[in-house]
Amino acid sequence: MKMENMTITAQTEVAPKIYRIVLNGPLARELRDPGQFVNIRVGTGIDPTLRRPISICDVDLENEELTMIYRQEGKGTKLLSEKLVGDEINILGPLGQGFPVEVAKKNSTCVLIGGGVGIPPLYYLAKKLVATGANVITILGFRTEKDIFLEEEFNELGQVIVTTEDGSKGMKGYVTDALKSLTSYDVYYTCGPKPMLRAVEITAQSPGYISLEERMGCGVGACLACVCDLTKPNEETGKGYAKICSDGPVFLAGEVIL
C-alpha cells in the first residue's frame, strides 16, 4: 500500500455516466491481486471529506498504469469525471484482499459474474485466469443495451453472456438466469450489487468468491466502518466480523452473511 499522486493518462466515457480512467505512477506496481481497490482523493480541500473506493479493472505493470471504470454516481465521482488528462490525483492503494487466482486449476472452468460497476474488477481477474490456463466464461449483467461496457474486452478472453433487464441486448433477465443455464464449472467469482450477490450465491453450483461493497471511512481497516458479519467466527482471531476494506472486499462464498 502506498499513497501517491498519480497522473491521469486517459479518461473517457465508455457508456452513459460510465467512465474509464487510466492512472500512471509507480504505485501501479504494488498491485498484488485482481479485485483489489484504490481509495481516491477526488478533491484537495476539506470537501469532499472522504476518499472514494474504486476497484482496479486492469493494470499494466510495465508502464505503471492502473485502469479503473466507474459510474458517475454522486458528488465525488462527478468531480473525478471532470478531471483531465495530465491532472494529478492522490491515490491510496492497492487496498484489500483480491480474488484468489491460484484456486483455478489449468483447464478448469471459471465463471465470472458481474453486474454493472461490479464488472470492472473481473476484467483483470479474467486476464490472470486465462494466463494460468483456465477457461473463463463471463456473465455480464446490465439494465439495458446502452449501459454495456467491457463486452468486447471480455470476448477476447472467453465466452461472454450478456444479460439485460429489458432484453434490449443478449439474454433478457438477470445474471442468475444465465448462470442457471451453465451446467458445469469449477469456481465462480462475482461482484455486483448485494441482491445480485445473494441470488448468485444461491444459484451457483460450485464454490465461489464474492466481492462486497460498503461505505468506508479509512479504507485501511482502522475505523470499523465497513464491517460485515462472518458466518462463523474466525478461528485465528476469534472475531465474528470482517472488515471489507482490509479482510475483503473478496470473501469466500458462504464466509460472510450477505
Ligand X SMILES: Cc1cc2nc3c(=O)[nH]c(=O)nc-3n(C[C@H](O)[C@H](O)[C@H](O)COP(=O)(O)O)c2cc1C
Q: Does 10 bind ligand X (CB under 6 A)?
A: no
**10's grid cell:** 486517459
**104's grid cell:** 483455478
Please tell me the distance from the alpha carbon of residue 219 to that of residue 217, in angstroms, as a whole number.
6
Residue 72, Ramachandran bin (φ over 0: left; ψ between -120 and 50: alpha; else beta): beta
Closest by alpha carbon to 180, among 202, 195, 158? 202
Q: Does 34 bind ligand FAD (CB under 6 A)?
A: no
| Smaller CB separation from another protein, 10 or 224 | 224
Q: Does 38 bind another protein (CB under 8 A)?
A: no
State which of positions 214-233 bind ligand X (CB under 6 A).
Answer: 217, 223
Q: Does 225 bind ligand FAD (CB under 6 A)?
A: no
Q: Does 55 bind ligand FAD (CB under 6 A)?
A: yes
* Chosen from ligand FES, ligand X, ligand FAD, none, partner binding at 243 (C-beta under 5 to 8 Å by type): ligand FES
Please tell me the distance from the alpha carbon of residue 231 to that of residue 249, in angstroms, as a whole number.
16
Please choose, out of 6-14, 141-149, 163-171, 213-221, the segment that lies near another protein by the rule CB under 8 A.
213-221
- Contact at 8 Å (CB) between 158 and 82? no
* Closest distance to a copy of itself from the beta carbon of 78 (Å): 12
In Å, how far from its chain's centre is CA 144?
A: 20
- Residues forming the site for ligand FES (CB under 6 A): 216-219, 221-226, 243, 245
